[in-house]
Chains A and B, each alone.
Chain A
Amino acid sequence: MTQKQLNGVTIDIDDDGYMTNHAQWNRDVAAALAKELDIELTDGHWRVLDFIDKDFKEKGVVPGMRRMNKIGGIPTKDLYSLFPDGPIKKAAKVAGYPKPVSCV
């Protein structure tokens, strides 16, 4: 585990740059994490991030594409335009949650 500074806040991250302590996350941290991925957060992004946050607190895992679609009401096409190249991984990183694993 390593630490890094983002906008004056210290966050713990794993080898792939995913946050390991969600208590250190806030909306400014999210914006800074997004910037590292060349993403400027808009309302569309926040809709995705808020759904991940709500769903993770409920289920304990980062939702997959189908869940975002069916439960979160976010079309898959939108996910790809908001978080290009691997939307779930990128969105999970910005949302301050662990790297999604397809666990089965």
Chain B
Amino acid sequence: MKKLLILGAGTSGTMMANRLRKKLPADEWAIAIIDQYPKHYYQPGFLFMPFGIYSEKDVIKPKQKFIPPKVYYIESEIDRIEPDRNRVLLRSGKQFDYDVLILATGVKTAPDQVEGMRGDDWRRRVFDFYTFEGALALHNALRDWNGGKLVVHISEMPIKCPVAPLEFAFLADWWLTERGLRNKTEISYVTPLSGAFTKPIASKVLAHLLEEKGIKVVTDFNVARINNEQHKLVSWDEKEVGYDLLVTVPTNMGDPAIERSGLGDELNLVPTNRHTLQSKQHQNIFVIGDATDLPSSKAGSVAHFESEVLAENIVHYIKGEPLESQFDGHANCFIESGYHKAFLLDFNYDLQPVPGKYPLPFIGPFSLLRETRMNDLGKLAFKWVYWNLLLKGVPMPGVGHHMSRLGKQIPTEAIQPA
């Protein structure tokens, strides 16, 4: 019996367990998946929790519920991977050998990486919404909000879902307006990037929207520390931004087990072939989702597209066939902009987000890089899709891993050299 081991039962690992159990004969391949936490979080839902749109029941289900029969589910913390011996050591002292290993260990927020972030203001005036606990604490803080300086902040790139902080700013603007608090609240958006978003054409559209909503944008701000006494963000070049309420996205880092195993870069991300998803260091190790160092967005949609390519490549690898270089960096993401409207972006390594229709070219029903009510319905429906189709690896009609250029309005500057 051969052994395939998956580390991490989040979005990526769960999808791989489901896809591969269907593809690999159960009498030849044992599949096991290891994760230290029992709860599966619907992470896109964290954005809605501070505003009371979603609560606990929307975003948490048991991990095991999504692991198929005939896949061994082990709840334990990983100590380290020993790639030269093809084995994984667990904190419990147990060890697992593998023939093929899939790293789906994701990234986590690491607030300790910024001096002072975990100071006296933490969870009093300084919040994150990238964790369940943070989103819940922020919900409580917003209930007591009477106005002042609200600062939405990104510590360092890359982060999961790079549009989420923008969405938070848009939703906060709406929420405050409805409560008559908007004119008492100054909203700033503070980013280490040189614009509102990472991709130029979308960045322009989003910058315009921020301006329309009266949200002040501070770019090129690299935070050095948080001054808890004076409630200020301080940059490395001594610029300062004061806050009454700071909603920050802490540094996102790969799992410490990756670092302990010597498999990661400076953020504990695993160097990975951007088209095949094979580890650059070890042929029988594959990497998916946020755990990779790919120049694509860290998002569930990316993990979903990767999972299709990776399942095929694992089969190729097992049969001794050459891997297919199929992953094109495809990502799509909704951007909630408030007032029951949203944008949708669809892009890959080579083409940045442009206007058009999705998933059906020219038809939609969703509009790319435009603010519509239909897009908002799509985002809200996505929760059902996530729990019921995506995690289980059920194919979605029209939503393939290859990004289509059909139906897109593409200016020449939108195409990036590969």
A interface, size bucket: 10 to 19
B298–A104 CB distance below 8 A: yes
Closest residue on chain A to residue B271 by CB atoms: A59
B-side interface mostly = loop
| Cβ A104 vs Cβ B162 within 8 A | yes
B397 in the interface (beta carbon within 8 A): no
A85 touches B198 (CB 8 A): no
Contact yes or no, B222 A65, CB < 8 A: yes
Q: Could you say which of B157, B237, B296, B298 contacts A102, with CB atoms under 8 Å apart?
A: B157
Known contacts: A80-B236, A84-B237, A86-B220. The answer to whether A102 contacts B266 by CB under 8 A is no
Q: List A contacts of B198 (CB < 8 A).
A: 101-104
Chain B residues numbered 53-101 whose CB sits less than 8 Å from any CB in chain A: none
User: What's the Cα separation between A64 and B269 when bound, in Å?
Assistant: 14
Interface centre among B198, B224, B236, B266, by most chain A C-beta atoms within 10 angstroms, is B266
> How many Å from the CB of A4 to the closest CB on chain B?
22
Q: Report A's interface with B, CB cutoff 8 A.
A: 61, 64-67, 69-71, 76-77, 79-80, 84-86, 101-104
6 closest pairs, A vs B, by CB? A70-B266, A104-B158, A103-B295, A102-B157, A67-B266, A80-B236
Inter-chain pairs besides A70-B266, A71-B266, A102-B198, 15 sampled, C-beta below 8 Å: A65-B222, A66-B156, A66-B266, A71-B265, A76-B224, A76-B236, A79-B236, A80-B236, A84-B237, A85-B237, A101-B198, A102-B157, A103-B198, A104-B295, A104-B296
Q: List 19 A-B contacts (CB under 8 A).
A: A64-B157, A66-B156, A69-B266, A71-B266, A76-B222, A76-B224, A76-B236, A77-B236, A79-B236, A80-B236, A102-B193, A103-B295, A104-B158, A104-B162, A104-B198, A104-B295, A104-B296, A104-B297, A104-B298
